[in-house]
Amino acid sequence: MKCQPESLTLNCGGSLLSLSQPIVMGILNTTPDSFFSDSRATTERTIKERASNIIAEGAGIIDIGACSTRPFAAEVTETEELQRMRQALRYVREELPDAILSVDTFRASVARMSVEEFGAAIVNDVSGGDADADMYATVARLKVAYVCMHMQGTPQTMQLAPTYTHIVGDVITDLSRKVEALRNLGVKDIIIDPGFGFGKTLEQNYMLLKQLDAFHIFGLPLLAGVSRKSMIHKLLNVSTADSLNGTTVVNTLALSKGAHILRVHDVKAACEAIRIISYMHNID
């Protein structure tokens, strides 16, 4: 069992972020329809409060989303996403000028604005570059870290009938092609995300979790984003609001498989899971 991640680093705006111990990426959604209401913040006060709480509870990265990518989410125009993202980034930068910011977007224009105007250090693309042909070249030109996630279909279609020959092998093959394309353009800081919940059935999600350590074949940081997703609350027959305990269990399993980054709604609980498993690993 893999309990300790490799000693990797990310270049975040010229500073090296160590992943010798797993870190937490806290979710801040500026959308009115994200699937977990407690992560939503749409006013100056709530955005600043949410960002401050994410850092105070121990997260190393704030991940800001301005376009919901939950299953069957309504499409948001580029103009609206840009407006939401610009507002959120401005408020967060006023409150936390030195925080490491990630932007959850599949649009190159939003990524470019976020980096050039507000110094975002990471682009978190749920489509892995499939939604915008300009994304890879944009990330390469901006010289920022890039979360390359696997998704089958789009948020509007991904849960209709996800089909694979072999879930783990198919996802690795798809991500391998994308990593090669990114490297050919000179992108150096790539984070791998197998895309839990994005075009996967309940069983397929848990097969990915069971074999998560297979993704270390890339030799790249590995992100696990399972927080309060349907793979947890549907299995346990509880509501999204009541799925924190299940989320902590799944996050701990991901850590045991060598996840470097946990993307979560509940930062404190995730940080506690990291502290416990890291302590256990390091005692004689």
- Does the annotation mark 229 as catalytic? yes
Which among 237, 242, 230 is positioned nearest to 200, based on CA atoms? 230
| Burial grade of 86 (CB within 10 A; 0-12, 13-18, 19 or more) | middle
Which of the following is catalytic: 178, 228, 257, 263? 263
| Burial grade of 32 (CB within 10 A; 0-12, 13-18, 19 or more) | exposed
Write the DSSP string, the chain: ---S----EEEETTEEEE-SS-EEEEEEE--TT-SSGGGB--SHHHHHHHHHHHHHTT-SEEEEESS--STTPPP--HHHHHHHHHHHHHHHHHH-TT--EEEE-S-HHHHHHHHHHH---EEEETTTTSS-TTHHHHHHHHT-EEEEE--SS-TTTTTS----SSHHHHHHHHHHHHHHHHHHTT---EEEE--TTSS--HHHHHHHHHTGGGGGGG-S-BEE--TT-HHHHHHHT--GGG-HHHHHHHHHHHHHTT-SEEEES-HHHHHHHHHHHHHHHH--
Can you tell me which residue has the tokens 């839990």? 196
Which of the following is catalytic: 229, 234, 257, 268? 229
- Does the annotation mark 263 as catalytic? yes
Which residues are known to be catalytic?
Answer: 229, 263
